[in-house]
A and B are shown apart, each in its own frame.
Chain A
Amino acid sequence: MSVPPSSRELKKGSAELLILSLVEIRARHGYDIARLIEARSHGELTFYAASLYPLLYRLERRGWIEGRWVEKAGQRRRRLYRITPAGRKILAAQRLGWRNFVRAINRVTGQEG
Chain B
Amino acid sequence: MPDWKSEIRNRLSNAGLQPAREHEIVEEFAQHLEDRYQEAIARGAREADAEAAARREIDAGRLAREIARVMADPLPPLPIGRPFDSARGRPGPRHWMNGFWQDIRYAGRTLRRSPGFAAAATLTIALSTGPTIAAVGVANWLFFRPLPGVVAPDRVGIVWFGSWEDGSFGPSFVSYGHVAAIQAGLTTISGLTGQQQASLNVSLDNAPPRVVPGSFVMGNFFDVLGVRFLEGRGFGRDEDRTAHGDIALVLSADLARSLFPDGPAVGRIVRINGHDCRVVGVARQAFRGTKLGRSSQLWLPGLASPRINHAPPERWTYPPERGPFYEFLARLAPDATFAQADAELRASALALAAGSTPGAARFRTVQPFLIPEVGLDVFARDSGWTVTRPLLIVGVLLVVLGAANVANLFVFRGVTRGREAAVRRALGASGSRLARLHLVESLIVSSVGAILGVAVTAGGKAWLDGANVPGVGALEIVIDWRLLAIALSIAAGVGVLLSVAPARMATRTDLTSAMGRGSRGASRSSARLRTGLAVVQLAVSVVLLVEALLFIRTLQNLRNVDLGIDLRGVTTFMFASRGQGYTPARTLQFHRDLLERVGHLPAIDAVATSGNLPIGGVRHGARVLPPDQAAATLGKPNREAFQAALRILTNDVTPGYFETFGMRFLAGRTFTETEAYTAGAEPAVIISASLAQRLYGTTHAVGRPLTFPAQGSLPRHDAPVVGVVNDVRWGSPTDKEEFLVYRPVADSAGLGQILAVRSSARPADVVRLVQAEVSKLDPALPMSRDRTLAALLDERLTQQRLNAWALAVLAALAFLLAAIGIHGLVSQTVADRLREFGIRLAVGASRPQVMRLVLRSALLIIAIGAPLGLLLAGLGSQLVESRLFGVRPLDAMVYAVASLALAAVVVLASLGPAWRASRVDPVNVLRVE
A61 at the interface (CB under 8 A from B): yes
- Tell me which of B36, B58, B76, B516 contacts A100 (CB under 8 A): B516
Q: Are A48 and B423 in contact, CB atoms less than 8 angstroms apart?
A: no
- Tell me which of A31, A50, A86, A94 contacts B35 (CB under 8 A): A31
Scoring A residues 2 to 41 as 1 if CB is less than 8 Å from chain B, else 0, what string do you get?
1101000100010000000000000001110010000000
| Contacting residues of chain B (883-929) with chain A, CB-CB under 8 angstroms | 922-923, 926-927, 929
Contacts of A49 in B (CB 8 A): 29, 32-33, 36, 57-58
Q: Which of B62-70, B266-274, B345-353, B718-726 contacts A (4 or more CB under 8 A)?
A: B62-70
- Tell me which of B32, B516, B926, B929 contacts A30 (CB under 8 A): B32
What's the Cα separation between A76 and B926 when bound, in Å?
A: 45
Q: Are A76 and B66 in contact, CB atoms less than 8 angstroms apart?
A: no
Q: Are A62 and B423 in contact, CB atoms less than 8 angstroms apart?
A: yes
Contacts of B31 in A (CB 8 A): 29-31, 76, 78
Contacts of B63 in A (CB 8 A): 50
Q: How far is the CB of A89 from chain B (nearest CB, A)?
A: 5
Chain B residue nearest in CB terms to A13: B929
Q: Are B66 and A97 in contact, CB atoms less than 8 angstroms apart?
A: no
Q: How far is the CB of B5 from chain A (nearest CB, A)?
A: 13
Q: Are B69 and A54 in contact, CB atoms less than 8 angstroms apart?
A: yes
Q: Are A90 and B70 in contact, CB atoms less than 8 angstroms apart?
A: no
What's the Cα separation between A31 and B4 when bound, in Å?
A: 15
Q: Are B922 and A92 in contact, CB atoms less than 8 angstroms apart?
A: no
B180 at the interface (CB under 8 A from A): no
B59 at the interface (CB under 8 A from A): yes
Q: Are B517 and A50 in contact, CB atoms less than 8 angstroms apart?
A: no
Q: Are B926 and A2 in contact, CB atoms less than 8 angstroms apart?
A: yes
B28 at the interface (CB under 8 A from A): yes
A73 at the interface (CB under 8 A from B): no
B238 at the interface (CB under 8 A from A): no
Contacts of B426 in A (CB 8 A): 86, 89-90
Q: Are A50 and B59 in contact, CB atoms less than 8 angstroms apart?
A: yes
Scoring B residues 17 to 57 as 1 if CB is less than 8 Å from chain A, else 0, what string do you get?
00000001100110111011000000000000000000011
Size band of the interface chain B makes with A: 35 or more
B648 at the interface (CB under 8 A from A): no
A93-B512 contact, Cβ under 8 Å, with A9-B927, A48-B60, A54-B66? yes
B75 at the interface (CB under 8 A from A): yes
Q: Are A108 and B69 in contact, CB atoms less than 8 angstroms apart?
A: no
Q: How far is the CB of B682 from chain A (nearest CB, A)?
A: 105
Contacts of B75 in A (CB 8 A): 61-62
Q: Are B58 and A48 in contact, CB atoms less than 8 angstroms apart?
A: yes
Q: Are A62 and B73 in contact, CB atoms less than 8 angstroms apart?
A: yes
Q: Are A50 and B57 in contact, CB atoms less than 8 angstroms apart?
A: yes
Q: Are A93 and B57 in contact, CB atoms less than 8 angstroms apart?
A: no
Q: Are B73 and A86 in contact, CB atoms less than 8 angstroms apart?
A: no
| Contacting residues of chain A (49-106) with chain B, CB-CB under 8 angstroms | 49-51, 53-54, 57-58, 61-63, 69, 76, 78-79, 86, 89-90, 92-94, 96-97, 100-101, 105
Q: Are B514 and A101 in contact, CB atoms less than 8 angstroms apart?
A: no
B515 at the interface (CB under 8 A from A): yes
Contacts of A50 in B (CB 8 A): 57-61, 63, 66
What's the Cα separation between A108 and B828 when bound, in Å?
A: 23
Scoring B residues 258 to 279 as 1 if CB is less than 8 Å from chain A, else 0, what string do you get?
0000000000000000000000
Contacts of A3 in B (CB 8 A): 923
Q: Are A2 and B923 in contact, CB atoms less than 8 angstroms apart?
A: yes
Q: Are B67 and A90 in contact, CB atoms less than 8 angstroms apart?
A: no
B427 at the interface (CB under 8 A from A): yes
Q: Are B923 and A93 in contact, CB atoms less than 8 angstroms apart?
A: no
Main secondary structure of the interface of A (DSSP, over half): helix
Q: Are B515 and A94 in contact, CB atoms less than 8 angstroms apart?
A: yes
Chain B residue nearest in CB terms to A91: B515
What's the Cα separation between A100 and B929 when bound, in Å?
A: 12
Q: How far is the CB of A9 from chain B (nearest CB, A)?
A: 5
What's the Cα separation between A76 and B29 when bound, in Å?
A: 13
A-B contact count (CB 8 A): 102
Contacts of A108 in B (CB 8 A): 839, 926
Contacts of A101 in B (CB 8 A): 518, 929
Contacts of A79 in B (CB 8 A): 24, 28
B842 at the interface (CB under 8 A from A): yes
A97-B516 contact, Cβ under 8 Å, with A31-B35, A58-B73? yes
Q: Are B25 and A53 in contact, CB atoms less than 8 angstroms apart?
A: yes
- Tell me which of A34, A53, A61, A97 contacts B28 (CB under 8 A): A53
Contacts of A48 in B (CB 8 A): 56-61
Listed residue (B25, B32, B71, B73) with the most chain A CB atoms within 10 angstroms of its CB: B32
Q: Are A93 and B514 in contact, CB atoms less than 8 angstroms apart?
A: yes
Scoring B residues 75 to 92 as 1 if CB is less than 8 Å from chain A, else 0, what string do you get?
111000000000000000
Contacts of A97 in B (CB 8 A): 515-518
Listed residue (A9, A48, A50, A90) with the most chain B CB atoms within 10 angstroms of its CB: A50
- Tell me which of B33, B67, B839 contacts A57 (CB under 8 A): B67
B511 at the interface (CB under 8 A from A): yes
Q: How far is the CB of B292 from chain A (nearest CB, A)?
A: 62
Q: How far is the CB of A74 from chain B (nearest CB, A)?
A: 16
Chain A residue nearest in CB terms to B65: A54
Contacts of B69 in A (CB 8 A): 54
What's the Cα separation between A65 and B57 when bound, in Å?
A: 23
Contacts of B24 in A (CB 8 A): 69, 79
Q: Are B28 and A96 in contact, CB atoms less than 8 angstroms apart?
A: no
Chain B residue nearest in CB terms to A105: B926
A63-B66 contact, Cβ under 8 Å, with A50-B57, A58-B73? no
What's the Cα separation between A65 and B34 when bound, in Å?
A: 24
Q: Are B518 and A89 in contact, CB atoms less than 8 angstroms apart?
A: no
Contacts of B70 in A (CB 8 A): 54, 57-58, 61
A31-B36 contact, Cβ under 8 Å, with A58-B70, A105-B926? yes
Q: Are A2 and B842 in contact, CB atoms less than 8 angstroms apart?
A: yes
Contacts of B25 in A (CB 8 A): 53, 57
Q: Are B511 and A53 in contact, CB atoms less than 8 angstroms apart?
A: no
Q: How far is the CB of B25 from chain A (nearest CB, A)?
A: 7
Listed residue (B36, B57, B423) with the most chain A CB atoms within 10 angstroms of its CB: B57
Q: Are A5 and B927 in contact, CB atoms less than 8 angstroms apart?
A: yes
Contacts of A2 in B (CB 8 A): 842, 922-923, 926
Q: Are A34 and B67 in contact, CB atoms less than 8 angstroms apart?
A: no
Chain A residue nearest in CB terms to B517: A97
Contacts of A57 in B (CB 8 A): 25, 67, 70-71
Q: How far is the CB of B585 from chain A (nearest CB, A)?
A: 100
Chain B residue nearest in CB terms to A98: B516
Chain A residue nearest in CB terms to B33: A49
A93-B32 contact, Cβ under 8 Å, with A5-B927, A50-B59, A101-B929? no
Q: How far is the CB of A46 from chain B (nearest CB, A)?
A: 10
Contacts of B56 in A (CB 8 A): 48
Contacts of B839 in A (CB 8 A): 108
Q: List 22 A-B contacts (CB under 8 A).
A: A2-B922, A48-B60, A49-B32, A49-B58, A50-B58, A50-B59, A50-B60, A50-B61, A50-B63, A53-B25, A53-B29, A53-B67, A57-B71, A61-B76, A63-B77, A63-B427, A86-B423, A89-B426, A89-B511, A93-B515, A96-B516, A97-B517
**Which B residues are within 8 Å of any A CB, using their own CB?**
24-25, 28-29, 31-33, 35-36, 56-61, 63, 66-67, 69-71, 73, 75-77, 423, 426-427, 511-512, 514-518, 839, 842, 922-923, 926-927, 929
**Which A residues are within 8 Å of any B CB, using their own CB?**
1-3, 5, 9, 13, 29-31, 34, 48-51, 53-54, 57-58, 61-63, 69, 76, 78-79, 86, 89-90, 92-94, 96-97, 100-101, 105, 108
Apart from A49-B57, A53-B32, what are 13 other A-B pairs with CB-CB below 8 Å?
A30-B31, A48-B56, A48-B61, A49-B29, A49-B58, A53-B29, A57-B25, A57-B67, A57-B71, A79-B28, A90-B426, A93-B511, A93-B512
Question: Which 6 A-B pairs rank lowest in CB-CB distance, beginning with the nearest?
Answer: A93-B515, A49-B57, A97-B516, A54-B66, A31-B35, A57-B70
